[in-house]
Amino acid sequence: MTPGPLPQSYVEYQPPAALREYVECFWTRGAVPVTEARHHVIPDGCIDLLFTYDSLAASDGPASAFAVGTMTRPLSVEATEAAAYVGVRFWPGRALPFLGVPAAEITDLRVAVDDIWRSRDRSSVATQLTALGGWRGEFERLLLARLGRTQGAEPGDRTVDAAVRAILRAGGNLSIAALAPALGVTRQHLARAFARHVGVPPKMFARVARVRRVLAKARVASRLDWAALALDAGYYDQAHLAGEVREITGRTPTEWLGSA
């Protein structure tokens, strides 16, 4: 089903059943309002494919196609970069069949999809999505075709999947040194597998997960107590929490909540 005109705000859409083990969501966002100097994005442990549109006309195709690697630092998007964005966000560790390169090669980068897909017919990936009005069906077909060509060559990694689940279940608050033996592999093997499938080391992925869990709890707290949140999340103290939040988001905890 094709949605109507793109809303200005960020909106997520459920992927089809054939892609759900790989794709967390499709998403759209209109241009950042001119009243916002920049749109602030923090790391989430995921990889996205992003199509940008210079026009909101339903018949216009995308101007560019990028793969946005797993982030270790915040990203600020200029308000004038595009009229609209259409993207797909993969589950952590599940993007490799759609990339064409190990995830670590694009960490903290925004890389043209044409450069990593190496299309057989040398046509631009952006030209394969012909119209903004029908982006969803075309995007689904593009990904399914890509999956069909690469699935055998780029299988998933069950150890990575299990490690990602354990880290997210613990909110990032667990021993990475103990995680690999618990999964029956060495730390070196787990680190190599994470580099290939996730794009960052397990410890970095856990740090991002822990910061995001704390900020999510802070948003809904009836009485905000940063010291208690820090201890509950396994930080040494409030200063440790503040330092991690600043490194991951680029802002203090209070500044981040004020802008969220």
pLDDT tens for each residue of 119-170: 554 567 767 776 778 888 888 998 998 888 766 556 678 999 999 999 999 9
Query: What is the rounded CA–CA span in Å between residue 249 and residue 239?
Result: 15
Query: What is the rounded CA–CA span in Å between residue 61 and residue 96?
Result: 26
Return the HEC string of 79-124. CCCCCEEEEEEECCCCCHHHHCCCHHHHCCCEEEHHHHHCCCCCCC
CA nearest neighbour of 68 among 30, 123, 116: 116
**Predicted pLDDT at 188:** 95
Structure tokens at 82: 């595009």
pLDDT tens for each residue of 73-127: 998 766 556 778 899 999 999 999 999 899 999 999 999 998 888 655 456 776 7
**Predicted pLDDT at 181:** 96
Q: In this structure, what DSSP letter does residue 58 have? A: T
3-state secondary structure of 227: helix
Query: 65 to each of 77, 103, 243, how far by Cα in Å?
Result: 16, 17, 34
Structure tokens at 110: 């925004």
Q: pLDDT class for 3, splitting at 50, 70, 90?
A: very low
pLDDT tens for each residue of 9-29: 789 999 999 999 999 999 998
Query: What is the rounded CA–CA span in Å between residue 72 and residue 244?
Result: 12
Query: What is the rounded CA–CA span in Å between residue 211 and residue 207?
Result: 6
Domains of the chain by residue range:
11-150, 158-259
Domain 158-259: give its CATH code: 1.10.10.60
Percent over 90 (pLDDT), the chain:
60
Structure tokens at 48: 């996205």
Whole-model pTM: value is 0.89
